């Protein structure tokens, strides 16, 4: 067999961040998935890239030292929720979060060295709600943002596209790159749920104006609507922005069986979107595609969804993408503010 072109990062140490009581964001999200990776042969078909700890320098390129100090202080108090009502902080939290960010960077380095074309970082805690000076929504360090910043500083990239299909708006990622054109942020998320940001008129500021694209969607949107939106948005943005790499905040909580959202994506959709992303990566950025796990809180669904995404990466990218009819989604793009900046 030829060398695998798809890398994965997974590590038992990602299970260390946990609390005695129940939280939706818990190690059981990944435990069974990790076993299946070897039992079902994914570890043979993919290159298993070792996780590494992010350096403090990498983290401080995105997050404030004041915030990191707060994480350290709250991690040793008796109440894991002393910092935030969702985002528990324990003694292992910062180390695990730095390993999560570092695992993503390890895959990014392999992609830039051309050792692999694409990768999937199966890490936790998730990251896209973590902003410069604040963690929230189960997110401690912003893994995608730390990786994008690493790609700018260490690999000299200046056109990085971050695509976020988690059910929730990636408010942290938006904040971090709001005023730059070197990182474009595209988020499709359910409107009017946590964190209540990501309105269509939030388009960026200064040099970054036009480089944040938010498409809040209605509950009950499913495969057709999402494929319609991503089909048109990726076609527009990839061919006009010409990203050098596509990072994906791959959250699986917009699934129809995830109780945290009311959107209705099926398991199969995650293969479809992955193959669509691989299609654009092949056509505009030498196949460079890095998926980073965000949400997904029904472990029985998260595992098959992640595996079907991996299947999508392991297949040959499609020759073309099919965009279905979806009248409700069409209306969302008709007067969307992103059309002031990009030609649909
Ligand atoms: Zn989410």
CB 106, CB 49: distance < 8 Å: yes
> Per residue in 208-217, pLDDT tens?
999 999 999 9
CA-based Rg of the chain, rounded to a whole angstrom? 18
Residue 184 counted as domain residue: yes
Phi, psi of 223 (to 5 degrees): -55, -50
pLDDT of residue 20: 87
Q: How confident is the model over 83-119, as pLDDT tens digits?
A: 999 999 999 999 999 999 999 999 999 999 999 999 9
CA 24 / ligand 1 centre spacing (Å): 11
The token pair that represents 97 in the structure block: 């979060």
Measured in Å, residue 132 CA sits from the centre of ligand 1 at 19
Q: Residue 131 belongs to what domain range?
A: 6-340
Centroid of ligand 1 to alpha carbon of 137 (angstroms): 8
CATH of the domain at 318: 3.40.800.20
Average pLDDT over the chain, rounded to an integer: 97
Domain count, the chain: 1
Catalytic residues: 129
Residue 43 falls inside a structural domain: yes
1 domain residue, yes or no: no
- Could you tell me if residue 91 is inside a domain? yes
Contact predicate 145/122, CB 8 Å:
no
Query: Looking up tokens 């890095």, which residue turns up?
Result: 290
300: helix, strand or coil: helix
In a domain, 24, yes or no: yes
- Centroid of ligand 1 to alpha carbon of 334 (angstroms): 26
127 lies in some domain: yes
pLDDT at 107: 98
Tens digit of each residue's pLDDT, the chain (344 residues): 578 999 999 999 999 999 988 999 999 999 999 999 999 999 999 999 999 999 999 999 999 999 999 999 999 999 999 999 999 999 999 999 999 999 999 999 999 999 999 999 999 999 999 999 999 999 999 999 999 999 999 999 999 999 999 999 999 999 999 999 999 999 999 999 999 999 999 999 999 999 999 999 999 999 999 999 999 999 999 999 999 999 999 999 999 999 999 999 999 999 999 999 999 999 999 999 999 999 999 999 999 999 999 999 999 999 999 999 999 999 999 999 999 999 99
Give the distance, in angstroms, between the CA of residue 66 and the centroid of all CA atoms in the same chain.
Answer: 25
Task: Give a yes or no: residue 294 inside a domain.
Answer: yes
What is the 1 CA–ligand 1 centroid distance (Å)? Answer: 37
What is the distance between the alpha carbons of residues 157 and 338, in angstroms, rounded to a whole number?
Answer: 23
- 147-196 pLDDT, tens digit per residue, is 999 999 999 999 999 999 999 999 999 999 999 999 999 999 999 999 99
For residue 34, tell me if it sits in a domain.
yes
CA of 23 relative to ligand 1 center, distance in Å: 14
Burial tier of 343 (Cβ tally within 10 Å: 0-12, 13-18, 19+): exposed
Ligand 1 center to 337 CA (angstroms): 24
Its pTM stands at 0.98
The tokens describing 259, both together, are 């109780």
């Amino acid at each position: 067999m030829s060398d695998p072109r798809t890398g994965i990062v997974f590590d038992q140490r990602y299970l260390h961040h946990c609390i005695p009581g129940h939280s939706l964001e818990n190690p059981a999200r990944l435990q069974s998935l990790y076993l299946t990776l070897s039992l079902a042969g994914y570890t043979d078909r993919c290159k298993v890239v070792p996780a590494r700890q992010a350096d403090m320098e990498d983290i401080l390129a995105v997050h404030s030292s004041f915030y990191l100090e707060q994480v350290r202080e709250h991690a040793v108090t008796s109440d894991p929720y002393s910092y935030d009502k969702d985002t528990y902080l324990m003694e292992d939290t910062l180390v695990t979060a730095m390993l999560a960010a570092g695992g993503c960077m390890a895959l990014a380095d392999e992609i830039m060295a051309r050792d692999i074309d694409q990768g999937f970082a199966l890490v936790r805690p998730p990251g896209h709600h973590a902003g410069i000076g604040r963690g929230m929504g189960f997110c401690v360090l912003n893994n995608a943002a730390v990786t994008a910043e690493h790609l700018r500083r260490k690999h000299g990239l200046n056109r990085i596209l971050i695509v976020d299909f988690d059910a929730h708006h990636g408010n942290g990622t938006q904040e971090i790159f709001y005023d730059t054109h070197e990182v474009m942020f595209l988020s499709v998320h359910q409107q009017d749920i946590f964190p209540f940001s990501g309105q269509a008129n939030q388009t960026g500021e200064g040099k970054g104006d036009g480089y944040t694209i938010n498409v809040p969607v209605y509950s009950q949107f499913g495969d057709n609507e999402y494929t319609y939106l991503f089909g048109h948005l990726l076609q527009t943005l990839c061919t006009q922005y010409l990203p050098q790499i596509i990072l994906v905040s791959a959250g699986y909580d917009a699934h129809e069986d995830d109780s945290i959202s009311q959107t209705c994506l099926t398991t199969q959709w995650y293969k479809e979107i992955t193959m669509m992303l691989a299609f654009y990566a092949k056509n505009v950025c030498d196949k460079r595609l890095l998926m980073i796990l965000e949400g997904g809180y029904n472990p029985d669904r998260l595992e098959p969804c992640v595996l079907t995404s991996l299947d999508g990466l392991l297949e040959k990218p499609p020759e073309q993408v099919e965009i279905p009819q979806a009248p409700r989604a069409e209306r969302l793009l008709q007067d969307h503010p992103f059309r002031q900046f990009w030609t649909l």
